[in-house]
Amino acid sequence: MIRASTFLRLNLRTRGSIFAPMTEQVQALIGKEFPCLDKGFVRLVDVMGDDAAIVQAARVSYGEGTKKVLEDRGLIRYLLRHAHTTPFEMVEFKFHVKLPIFVARQWIRHRTANVNEYSGRYSEMKDEFYVPASDQVRAQSSTNKQGRAEDSFAPSEAERIRTMMSTTQDSLYSEYQELLGTNLAREIARINLPVSNYTEWYWKIDLHNLFHFLRLRIDAHAQYEIRVYGEAMAEIVKAVVPAAWEAFEDYLLHARRFSRKELIALRSMLATVTPEDSALEAAGLKGREAQEFLAKLEELSQL
């Protein structure tokens, strides 16, 4: 049995390490509203941990001596570069998000978070609907079956479509109110409301899985409406864990995977190329990371 005084000392030591006091920059983010789309937002409700929490979790496995060899930034980069993901799970973010239902249905495909959503069974749905801005009213892409074209409709046609959407939303919400007036159960009255209706939820996720979410959702190929939310969250994450975010950009967000056949093609192209130290340094590759890169090039000859 642990004495209360012992537990208090353990707790204080923990809060001095994993749960270090928030910086003023991070404190300023708590509760700040990042507007998204026409009526939505992202707010950071709470955050547990930072770059130091990732390093501390890793050093439990790596041993105390690691601290004398690797700086925190270098260790974080090594962890992400080699897909040692567990230490990143030590950092958690809790967001309050207001978003259209159709965006929420895309979002919920990421099944690695804790979610609690506004309920149309218990509460009345709000008269808030998403209408895309004129520049987002576009034709179906001819090359992407699940996306829109790059060019917008003519302003007059875009406005006609926006008006049509808004009129339908108003009509359906009026019918919803009329059904509620008959004392029809809320869970039934809501079923004809469109997926443009706004909902809200609390969404809590660890950094490892949040990186996976952001890698997909701030990509240029992601649907615009969810990308807006991803970009707002990215701004928050970058401020809370700057070293981890830098590694995420280098090794995940802006990295590219190659198939075996693509690597064979690269081998042929690079057969006469000898990497120079100056070129490696200019690209920011040095030390262990440069050695790993050269080892990858050497592996191409074995394909």
Residue 15: its pLDDT value, please? 37
Q: Does residue 12 lie within any of the structural domains?
A: no
Structure tokens at 195: 């997926």
Q: Which of 43, 190, 217, 227 is catalytic?
A: 217
Same domain, 27 and 103: yes
Q: Is residue 11's pLDDT more than 60?
A: no
Number of domains in the chain: 3
- Taking only the tens place, the pLDDT of each residue in 160-209 is 999 999 999 999 999 999 999 999 999 999 999 999 999 999 999 999 99
Choose among 90, 79, 81: nearest CA to 57: 90
Same domain, 93 and 200: yes
Residue 299: its pLDDT value, please? 80
- Cα dihedral value 50, 51, 54, 56, nearest 10: -100
pTM for the whole structure:
0.85
Same domain, 202 and 100: yes
Q: Does residue 103 lie within any of the structural domains?
A: yes
**Last residue of a domain, which of 194, 213, 246?**
194
Q: Angle of helix 260-270 relative to helix 287-300, nearest 10 degrees?
A: 100
Same domain, 176 and 262: no
- Taking only the tens place, the pLDDT of each residue in 209-250 is 999 999 999 999 999 999 999 999 999 999 999 999 999 999
pLDDT band of 68, cuts 50, 70, 90: very low
State how far Cα 287 lies from the chain centre: 30
Same domain, 37 and 121: yes
Q: Does residue 24 lie within any of the structural domains?
A: yes
Q: For the chain, first and last CA: distance in Å?
A: 59
Q: Does residue 140 lie within any of the structural domains?
A: no
Q: Is 217 a catalytic residue?
A: yes
Q: Does residue 141 lie within any of the structural domains?
A: no
**Last residue of a domain, which of 194, 210, 225?**
194
Same domain, 291 and 187: no
Give the residue numbers spanning the domain of 157: 152-194
Residue 260: its pLDDT value, please? 86
Same domain, 50 and 67: yes
Same domain, 95 and 53: yes
- Taking only the tens place, the pLDDT of each residue in 124-147 is 999 999 999 999 999 999 988 889
Residue 9: its pLDDT value, please? 38
Same domain, 124 and 46: yes
- Taking only the tens place, the pLDDT of each residue in 247-298 is 999 999 999 888 888 888 888 877 766 777 777 888 888 888 888 888 887 7
Adjacent-strand bridge partners of 204: 94, 114
What DSSP character marks residue 139?
E
Contacts of 68 (CB under 8 A, 6+ apart): none
